Amino acid sequence: MTGDEVSKGSDDMMIDEYEQKQGNVVPDGFNSHYLKVYYGKLFPYADIFKWMSYGNDGKHPVCDQSYFSRREFSFTLDNEVYLRFQSFNSMSELENSVKEKCPVKIDIGPVYSVDPSKRHAYAQSGDNVFTPVERELIFDIDMSDYDDVRYCCSGADVCLECWPLMTIAVKVIDTSLRDDFGFSHILWVYSGRRGVHCWVCDGKARRLTNEQRAAIADYFRVYKGNENSHKKVSFTGLALHPFLARSYTEVLMDFFERKLLLSQEIFSTEERYEKILDMIPDPDQSITSELRGKWQEKRRTANSKDDINVVRWEQLKNMLQSGKHKVQGLRRCVEEIVFSFTYPRLDMEVSKHMNHLLKAPFCVHPKTGRVCVPIDPNRCEEFDPTAVPTLSNLLEQLNIGGLRAEVDNEWDRTSLGKSIRFFRSSFLQPLLKSCKEEMESSYNAKLQQSKNSFSW
């Protein structure tokens, strides 16, 4: 199955020299050879094209043939050259360009008023401008923004102990986008290393102004400040806003107590619990000194079967919620602590501007070799970033299948197949169906209008 076919004509597509002897093992890595195969056989051009066309690639009279060509793509090449304002008139143009240039990263920008490649012919202001007219509402959540509340990793690293922070972010934001804002066509994507991206693709979302995007980002924002300010989460008022209250009772508290408290060992050392004590408004030190006193005891108590983090958390909660201490700002302190450790931290700038670029799904991350696969928000608790297919995994799987002539859907015999099928069934198809309906109703509305104007 494998041996003989290797040395046939298109053997520049097969990289692995050990392949004949050691089976199909493809060494880990990220390089232009591997990428070439990936772009040659696996990258889902048709799906990306259909998505970006939003139904305009059809034959319906209301289809805008220029729509896809007004979308900006950008390529980062191997030699760190960065090509902006790339645009394509068709799927095959996009496919050929990607295969030829073999970009290390593909970003997607907005749909502009005119084809980006023709932008220089247009003015900066006045009537005939070159300006974004549509863009998905996007969110970028990066694990490194949580470095002050995770102890298992820092920086670029990510593990199964801190990944729940991303799970929380997906649950909280996804629920709010659907229930509060009424959006339905939402795609969550693994960023390839340490975070997640979100693409909200409803027509209403694509047409939001910068101001409206900023408003949504601010609605989601809770954590304020940085190392220069002490209190990063602050809830004044007598109750939490319904959105925050729901997030707290349905997601945050559960994840905090069930997972993070233990996996991050939040109260286990003096340095760590001091950080929590710092969050308590306690001008006369009565609360914090009492807690500190309990926790500095080296001897464990009789009930030392319970995890020390759980014990200390219960003690803290009891103290804060007992109502014994009448300190201003104490009311919501428990929530503030939980929110500090769990609530999603968005990159505000990414969401606020229509012209912000974002990495395309199904790209491969250069540092990890992992594919940016979609995440099912309904099953995000099961998502395992360490099990995401890597470039070398996929090539191995292709090898196992053997070299075949140009076959469609080569991805289907790799672990990428699952992701692409998920992308299609739960995101792309419903989206395109809704686009079609929107187009038909707007077409019918226009017909009605012109009929009415005739009645004069």
Partner 1 sequence: MEPVRSQRKLIVNDVVSTLPLYRSAPALEVRLEEFELFALDRLRVLKGISDALSRGRKPEEMEKLAIDLWKTNMRHPQASEVINKDIISHFVLRLVYCRTEDLRKWFLSMETALFRYRFKREKQEAQRALMAEFDLPYKAVSSSEFESVKEKLVLVSRSLGQSSPTADDIFFKVPFEEVPELVAGRRVFISKGHAYIAMSQVVSLVATQFRSHLSRALILTNRKWTTTIAEQEKDRLTPIVEALSSSYLGPDYSQPKEFAQISLKDIEDVAKSSFPLCMRHLFEKLREDHHLKHGGRMQLGLFLKGVGLKLDDALAFWKAEFSRKVGAERFDKEYSYGIRHNYGREGKRTDYTPYSCQKIISSTPGVGDHHGCPYRNFSEENLRAALNKMGVTGRAVGDVMDKVRNRHYQLACTLTFEAVHGSSCDAGINHPNQYFSDSQKIMQSKNQSAA
Catalytic positions, written as ranges: 72, 140, 142
Site membership for partner 1, residue 216 (CB under 8 A): yes
Site membership for partner 1, residue 237 (CB under 8 A): yes
Q: Which two tokens stand for residue 238?
A: 């007598």
Site membership for partner 1, residue 230 (CB under 8 A): yes
Q: Specify the 3-state DSSP secondary structure of 74.
A: strand
Stretch that binds partner 1, among 17-25, 94-102, 218-226, 312-320 (CB under 8 A): 218-226
Stretch that binds partner 1, among 153-161, 234-242, 309-317, 379-387 (CB under 8 A): 234-242
- How far apart are the C-alpha atoms of 60 and 200, rounded to whole Å? 25
Of the residues 8, 60, 99, 241, which one makes contact with partner 1 according to CB under 8 A: 241
Site membership for partner 1, residue 156 (CB under 8 A): no
Structural contact between residues 94 and 88, judged by C-beta atoms closer than 8 angstroms: yes
Site membership for partner 1, residue 229 (CB under 8 A): yes
Q: Which is nearer to partner 1, 221 or 413 (CB)?
A: 221
Of the residues 345, 365, 370, 424, which one makes contact with partner 1 according to CB under 8 A: 345
Site membership for partner 1, residue 13 (CB under 8 A): no
Of the residues 148, 161, 290, 307, which one makes contact with partner 1 according to CB under 8 A: 148
Least Å distance, CB 209 to partner 1, is 8
Structural contact between residues 321 and 181, judged by C-beta atoms closer than 8 angstroms: no
Structural contact between residues 338 and 257, judged by C-beta atoms closer than 8 angstroms: no
User: Closest by alpha carbon to 2, among 418, 296, 397, 401?
Assistant: 401
Of the residues 7, 12, 61, 80, which one makes contact with partner 1 according to CB under 8 A: 80
Q: Which is nearer to partner 1, 344 or 374 (CB)?
A: 344
Stretch that binds partner 1, among 236-244, 266-274, 306-314, 323-331 (CB under 8 A): 236-244
Name the maximum alpha-carbon separation found in the chain: 92
Of the residues 290, 348, 402, 422, which one makes contact with partner 1 according to CB under 8 A: 348
Site membership for partner 1, residue 204 (CB under 8 A): yes
Q: Which is nearer to partner 1, 59 or 230 (CB)?
A: 230
Pairing of strands 132-134, 105-112: antiparallel
Site membership for partner 1, residue 124 (CB under 8 A): yes
Q: How many residues bind partner 1 (CB under 8 A)?
A: 43
Q: Which is nearer to partner 1, 159 or 245 (CB)?
A: 245
Secondary structure (DSSP) of 206-231: HT--HHHHHHHHHHH------TT-S-
Query: What is the residue whose two structure tokens read 């996996």?
Result: 263
- How far apart are the C-alpha atoms of 393 and 373, rounded to whole Å? 14
Site membership for partner 1, residue 224 (CB under 8 A): yes
The DSSP output letter for 203 is H
Q: Which is nearer to partner 1, 143 or 416 (CB)?
A: 143
Site string for partner 1, 177-196 (x = CB under 8 A): --xxxxx-------------
Site membership for partner 1, residue 243 (CB under 8 A): yes
Q: Which two tokens stand for residue 147?
A: 């470095």
Structural contact between residues 423 and 188, judged by C-beta atoms closer than 8 angstroms: no
Least Å distance, CB 242 to partner 1, is 4
Enumerate the H helices of 54-158 as residue ranges: 91-101
Of the residues 231, 353, 404, 421, which one makes contact with partner 1 according to CB under 8 A: 231
User: Closest by alpha carbon to 175, among 165, 164, 166, 186?
Assistant: 186
User: In degrees to the nearest 10, what's the CA dihedral of 249, 255, 256, 259?
Assistant: 160
Residues near 75 by beta carbon (within 8 Å), at least 6 away in sequence: 82, 83, 86, 97, 98, 101, 103, 105, 106, 107
Q: Which is nearer to partner 1, 33 or 178 (CB)?
A: 178
Residues 125-144 that bind partner 1 (CB under 8 A): 126
Site membership for partner 1, residue 245 (CB under 8 A): yes
User: Closest by alpha carbon to 358, among 175, 195, 184?
Assistant: 195
For residue 140, list its beta bridge partners. 197
Site membership for partner 1, residue 284 (CB under 8 A): no
What sign does the dihedral 338-250-260-222 (CA atoms) show?
negative
Site membership for partner 1, residue 215 (CB under 8 A): yes
Q: Which is nearer to partner 1, 246 or 272 (CB)?
A: 246
Enumerate the H helices of 58-163 as residue ranges: 91-101
Q: Which residues bind partner 1 (CB under 8 A)?
A: 80, 124, 126, 145, 147-148, 179-183, 204, 208, 211-212, 214-216, 218-219, 223-231, 235-245, 345, 348-349
